Chain A
């Protein structure tokens, strides 16, 4: 059974800190890995990663994938209170029948 595990489950930091969120996976026929941010509403897309070692960057957020070690990290630098959210990792897998498996998420709280 495909599995996506995120750590830590919860994280509390002060504004200005840098955080690293982890996502490891065990799936059959990996296709891509996605990161989402979820506040008190629907998830919003952050990044899609398909190739190892290539960093994707958007402002203070960046992410990288390691397909050999089967994990990805999401970095947030100079955190702000608006970064407080649940960060979800999901993996596309499968051959002709695609599947998307989500991790349980990391709850990030950024205190002023």
Chain B
């Protein structure tokens, strides 16, 4: 158990809908990362927050947005869902800002299925 929690575990929804994925980092960790893992694309970095501020942006679509709240939990919002958004979404946390000496710990993931 990494100490990172994600809810829900599974989510099934229809195209065009909007969903929110939630992540609670390990106690004391200030950085939260979101990743998407699909069969054809592998693991893709989406976005990172550090202490409430956006820190780095990867391959995140405009239909997706995220935020980190004062209690450090984070939410990833996915809107206008398409079939291709079906994937496993991981959250990870790290203690620091994400430097070259910082280890990320992954949550168990949320499996999103868009029908």
Contact = CB atoms under 8 A, between A and B. Distances in A.
B89 to A, nearest CB: 11
Interface stretch (B62-70, B75-83, B101-109): B101-109
Interface string B81-115: 00000000010000001111101111111000000
B37 to A, nearest CB: 9
A104 to B, nearest CB: 4
A100 B33 CA distance: 10
Interface residues of A, number: 23
Contact of A97 (B57, B107, B109): B57
A99 B56 contact: yes
Contacts, number: 59
Interface string A59-101: 0000000000000000000000000000010101010011111
Interface residues of B, number: 24
Contact of B109 (A41, A45, A92): A41
A48 B56 CA distance: 20
B18 interface: no
A32 interface: yes
A53 interface: no
A98 B107 contact: no
B48 interface: yes
Interface of A: 31-32, 34, 41-45, 48, 50, 88, 90, 92, 94, 97-105
Interface of B: 2, 33, 42-45, 48, 55-58, 90, 97-101, 103-109
